Amino acid sequence: MQCSNSAAKAIRLFYESQCAAVDRIDAICEQHAISCHFRRLDGLLFPAMGSDANEKKETLQTEYEAGRKIRVKRVRGVPFAGFNDAPCLRYPHPATFHALKYLKGLVAAIGERGGKLFANSAVVKAEESCAGVSVSTRGGVHVHAARVIATNSPINNQVAIHSKLAPYRTYAMAFTSPRGLTR
């Protein structure tokens, strides 16, 4: 399978945006001395135990074709029992950190710079001007910000996209088996 030029461009742009986000978190941790166990790790994609051999090969090949232009490499083996020689793909550049410690440090840094955070404040109206952004909340509070307002749902009057959004979480875990526990 070959990616079209537009698909390859979209994949590259997505990867670059993810790298930029990780780089920004790294820079914020450094700038504000946020201790959240930030460290760079390679991402590994490998087949699940018990999955069909042909399906594994096809899935990895499809992922490799999609990602080879963004420095995805084919490698063998991951440090888990039973996967010592498993075919896998290595994605460079990701990182891991303790999200709650990062957020606690970020909240402190925002407060130190005079910023304010508002929870449970659904924005119903936003207006931009040369002086900044003014927003109105469902509760009738009006807030003016000189620079930026961030939200997890777009504000618009054209499409009811907020009703189609769903919150998701992703997890990555690494651990060792407790002593004496065997398979």
Separation in Å, CA 135 to CA 4, 6, 72, 145: 42, 37, 42, 8
What distance lies between CA 165 and its chain's CA centroid?
A: 17
Q: What pTM was estimated for this model as a whole?
A: 0.64
Residue 133 has pLDDT above 70, yes or no: yes
Residue 147 has pLDDT above 50, yes or no: yes
Residue 39 has pLDDT above 90, yes or no: yes
What does the domain layout of the chain look like in residue ranges? 5-99, 118-183
Q: What is the pLDDT of residues 46-71, one digit of tens each?
A: 877 776 767 777 878 877 877 777 77
Give dist(CA 119, CA 109) in Å, integer. 17
Reported in sequence order, the residue ranges of 17-93 that DSSP labels E, i.e. its strands, are 39-40, 43-45, 73-76, 87-91
Length of the chain: 183
Indicate the residue type of 70.
Answer: I
User: pLDDT value at position 101?
Assistant: 95
Give the count of beta carbons closer than 10 Å to the beta carbon of residue 158.
Answer: 6
Indicate the residue type of 103.
Answer: L
- Work out the percent of the chain whose per-residue pLDDT is above 90: 20
